[in-house]
Amino acid sequence: MPETFDSRPRFDTVLIANRGEIATRIQKACRELGLKTVVVYSEADRQAPYGKTADSALCIGPSSAAKSYLNKDALLLAARLTDAGAIHPGYGFLSENAAFADAVEKAGLTFIGPSASSIEAMGDKISAKRAMIAAGVPCVPGPDTALADDPAAVERLAREIGYPVIIKAAGGGGGRGMRVVPEAGLLQEAVALTREEARQAFGSPSLYMEKFLQHPRHIEIQVLCDTHGNAVWLGHRDCSMQRRHQKVVEEAPAPGISPDVIRPVGRACVEACRQIGYRGVGTFEFLYEDGAFYFIEMNTRLQVEHPVTEMTSGIDIVQAQIKVAQGDPLELAQADVRCEGHAFECRINAEDPDTFLPSAGIITSLAFPEGTGIRVDTHIHAGYKVPPYYDSLIAKLIVHAPTRAEAMARMREALVETRVDGISTNIPFLRALFEDGAFARGETDIHYLEQWLKQRRAP
Ligand code: ADP
């Protein structure tokens, strides 16, 4: 066993504070590492298959997420009752909640994620931007300070940056708390509205301003850091295919970006991790326009789209995350990271393929593709009842092939072979998207999918 300089205890049991496909994914990683798992579930998830394969399974509350998956006390009690030594928060729910990370550590358990102070620092977009500028990470033009109250100063700043600008809440998230301002006449009202929204939704009126980029792509860099000062980046992903700021299809690597262009950005991300003493996995999100990268935010958790990086890098990111939480040093240096081939991920959602309204109910039968370069991350099975209370993601279909064109062809075929009956899913929409010429040529930006949908709806 490697020597660890970490005072936190090693653990042999992990409580999974999440549900759905990611609960299955984390359980698999734990079992492969020889760790026991505790599954917690709401009353609506009583039937979840991962509960049956766990070493212990406990109901932590009613269907409402606020009373179950977001109930910190219930989760800590469940950990105590089952002798769990660590809590994996997955994504969403409490994964980026600094108070929860702190409470877990104060209870003498390991939070499988970064420290509460890292979560807090990156959760405030102004302090995150400041830390990135200090580490040499390129950011969107605009100051790393909060917007002044003085209307004349705000106007001067907007003129300096140049219209269009975007006003963003420092504590914003989930695509909320931001407003684009195309011209000076609309500035003061936009600031007032966003400030009020920020105060109500995020509990802080703090705002900042930056340049609004008109046709960017969304490109992100996956990092992995241990508690011994080692950090690596595991290549990049393109997540430009978004509907209402929600990612629909992700791929790795981002097409058409030369290694020479992305390398300094990856290095800067690693440097930023060292400077802030980051531990675990994390993602730096960038907008990419006209050959330049602009940092927008850091996600201090595992992401839904981590499998495309696993497929190209060959690294099990969830296992690596757990090992780091045990205090182990990274098993690889940057020179060992080699990304090969191309991977796509489709998010299969229980929703109407035309209206995108959620579709709950019983899955009567289903079929998933199998074979070389195909992976399906899911918790569903025939007879499974999709509850109406949570995110509509029911499965992730992931493919890997030597080239982007081959990976696209593999995904097209995989989507033809995928069938989920009894409820509506977005599979028909995904099939149509993978037939699109501009997407095949890699000529898309973050607005492309919305425009594509509008055109499809036009009579
Ligand atoms: P959130 O934390 O709410 O996800 P982000 O800062 O990540 O907020 O921004 C969400 C999305 O908003 C981005 O993916 C992008 O589509 C858009 N966006 C944010 N900042 C800018 C900007 N400066 N210019 C253009 N679009 C932006």
pLDDT in tens, 416-428: 999 999 999 999 9
How far does residue 296's CA lie from ligand 1's centre (Å)? 7
Q: How many CB atoms lie within 10 A of CB 200?
A: 10
pLDDT at 174: 77
Angle 181-119-288 (CA atoms, 0-180°, nearest 5)? 45
217 in ligand 1 pocket by Cβ < 6 Å? no
pLDDT at 9: 62
Average pLDDT value for residue range 10-35:
98
Categorize the per-residue pLDDT at 4 as very low, low, confident or very high, splitting at 50, 70 and 90.
Answer: very low
Distance CA 138, CA 265 (A): 8
CA-based nearest residue to 181, from 211, 201, 156: 211
pLDDT at 1: 41
Whole-structure pTM over 0.75, yes or no?
yes
**42 and 328 in contact (C-beta within 8 Å)?**
no
Determine the atom of ligand 1 nearest the C-alpha atom of 296. Answer: 6
Question: What percent of the chain has pLDDT above 90?
Answer: 95
**38 and 13 in contact (C-beta within 8 Å)?**
yes
Instruction: Look up 19 and say whether it is catalytic.
Output: no
Distance CA 444, CA 249 (A): 12
Quickly list DSSP for 141-153: SS-SSPPPS-HHH
> Which residues, in sequence order, are CB contacts of 313 under 8 Å at separation 6+?
234, 235, 337, 338, 339
pLDDT surpassing 70 at residue 217: yes
How far does residue 165's CA lie from ligand 1's centre (Å)? 12
**60 and 82 in contact (C-beta within 8 Å)?**
no
pLDDT at 457: 84
pLDDT in tens, 248-307: 999 999 999 999 999 999 999 999 999 999 999 999 999 999 999 999 999 999 999 999
pLDDT in tens, 47-72: 999 999 999 999 999 999 999 999 99
pLDDT surpassing 70 at residue 119: yes
**Tokens found for residue 193:** 């509205």
pLDDT at 75: 98
Determine the atom of ligand 1 nearest the C-alpha atom of 174. Answer: 3
274 in ligand 1 pocket by Cβ < 6 Å? no
173 in ligand 1 pocket by Cβ < 6 Å? yes
CA-based nearest residue to 40, from 32, 51, 49: 51
Quickly list DSSP for 208-221: EEEEPPSS-EEEEE
327: DSSP letter: T
How far does residue 435's CA lie from ligand 1's centre (Å)? 27
Determine the atom of ligand 1 nearest the C-alpha atom of 446. Answer: 16
pLDDT surpassing 90 at residue 5: no
Catalytic residue among 25, 179, 301, 404: 301
Distance CA 449, CA 423 (A): 24
pLDDT in tens, 171-211: 988 778 999 999 999 999 999 999 999 999 998 999 999 99
244 in ligand 1 pocket by Cβ < 6 Å? no
Categorize the per-residue pLDDT at 3 as very low, low, confident or very high, splitting at 50, 70 and 90.
Answer: very low
pLDDT in tens, 363-416: 999 999 999 999 999 999 999 999 999 999 999 999 999 999 999 999 999 999
How far does residue 137's CA lie from ligand 1's centre (Å)? 17
Distance CA 118, CA 96 (A): 10
Determine the atom of ligand 1 nearest the C-alpha atom of 176. Answer: 3
How far does residue 312's CA lie from ligand 1's centre (Å)? 26
The residue to mutate among 181, 296, 445, having the most atoms of ligand 1 within 8 angstroms of its beta carbon, is 296
Categorize the per-residue pLDDT at 8 as very low, low, confident or very high, splitting at 50, 70 and 90.
Answer: low
pLDDT at 7: 57
175 in ligand 1 pocket by Cβ < 6 Å? yes
pLDDT surpassing 80 at residue 116: yes
